[in-house]
Amino acid sequence: MKQRLDKMMVARGLAATRSEAANWIQLGRIHVNGRVAVKAGEFVDETSDVTMNAPERYVSRAGLKLASVAHKLAVSFDGAVVLDVGSSTGGFTDYALQHGARLVYAVDVGTNQLHPKLREDARVELHEKTDIRDFSPAQMPDVVVIDASFISLRQILPHVRTLAGLNTKIIAMVKPQFEAGRRQLGRSGVIKNNTIRRQILADFEAWAKHYFVIIDKKDSDVAGVKGNLERFYELRLAKNGG
């Protein structure tokens, strides 16, 4: 008998959910009988050899998103002090720790969201019920990672700028649906029109250049839960202060 690949992965314990399975397939990490799988919905024989080439696992989908662009952006967490803005379950924090971060300030307005394994990690300093605009870390971060929801980064980045130094790398994940104007966002909350998405990102870039130098930008290889395609920006402070 044959079965959907994503369902088979969950049944075999290779993924916790079909969504996670689809993410790994999308990243090219799943092999079926030696070939790279390309579709979560493909039907494969139940006797097939299904393997995962994924040495690292993360506590949430956000970790996969960061993993898909970190090497492209040449961001290093080795020995770094990291500020995770909008830490939530801790996908970005988990990625940073697995790649050598020595300290992560995990900041989120919510509570009881951070994964238990990260709560117990001595390298994590958790600040729940905390608006980043009211927070200042004891140590200047080497890297700032941002995954904020239901708020525009335009409301967050000006304060983040005051926490960073000239050598601080700011990796901000821009979610088009939270940067869009009312006329640009459909009822579904998903930006499906690529022309509108490009305009939203262009508007964000024009705004960001007033505060930062845009070093690089890469689209996430892993879409958001509803299908929104997010883009990561590497930002630095301008030497002249912007």
Indicate if the pLDDT at residue 240 is higher than 90.
no
- Residue 242 belongs to a domain: no
Indicate if the pLDDT at residue 81 is higher than 80.
yes
Question: Do 118 and 87 fall within a single domain?
Answer: yes
User: Sorting pLDDT into bands at 50, 70 and 90, what band is 178?
Assistant: confident
- Residue 127 belongs to a domain: yes
- Lowest-pLDDT choice from 16-20, 71-75, 106-110, 219-223: 16-20
- Cα 92 from Cα 70, distance rounded (Å): 11
Question: Do 37 and 126 fall within a single domain?
Answer: no
- Specify the pLDDT at position 210: 92
Q: Count up the domains in the chain and report the number.
A: 2
Question: Do 21 and 76 fall within a single domain?
Answer: no
Q: What is the pLDDT of residues 103-115, one digit of tens each?
A: 999 999 999 999 9
Share of the chain above pLDDT 70, in %: 92
- Answer with the one of 52, 71, 90 that is the final residue of a domain: 52
Question: Do 190 and 144 fall within a single domain?
Answer: yes
Q: What is the pLDDT of residues 20-58, one digit of tens each?
A: 788 788 778 899 999 999 999 999 999 999 998 865 678
Question: Do 130 and 206 fall within a single domain?
Answer: yes
Indicate if the pLDDT at residue 157 is higher than 90.
yes
- Specify the pLDDT at position 182: 65
What domain range is 97 assigned to?
Answer: 61-237
Q: CA geometry: angle at 237 spanning 233 and 240, to 5°?
A: 145
Residue 37's domain is classified under what CATH number? 3.10.290.10
Question: Do 128 and 38 fall within a single domain?
Answer: no
- Residue 134 belongs to a domain: yes
- Could you write out the three-class secondary structure of the chain? CEEEHHHHHHHCCCCCCHHHHHHHHHCCCEEECCEECCCCCCEEECCCCEEECCCCCCCCHHHHHHHHHHCCCCCCCCCCEEEEECCCCCHHHHHHHHCCCCEEEEECCCCCCCCHHHHCCCCEEEECCCCHHHCCCCCCCCEEEECCCCCCHHHCHHHHHHHCCCCCEEEEEECHHHHCCCCCCCCCCCCCCHHHHHHHHHHHHHHHCCCEEEEEEEECCCCCCCCCCCEEEEEEECCCCC
Residue range 147-173: mean pLDDT, rounded: 96
Indicate if the pLDDT at residue 225 is higher than 80.
no
- Residue 186 belongs to a domain: yes
Q: CA geometry: angle at 22 spanning 18 and 25, to 5°?
A: 135
Indicate if the pLDDT at residue 152 is higher than 70.
yes
- Answer with the one of 10, 31, 52 that is the final residue of a domain: 52
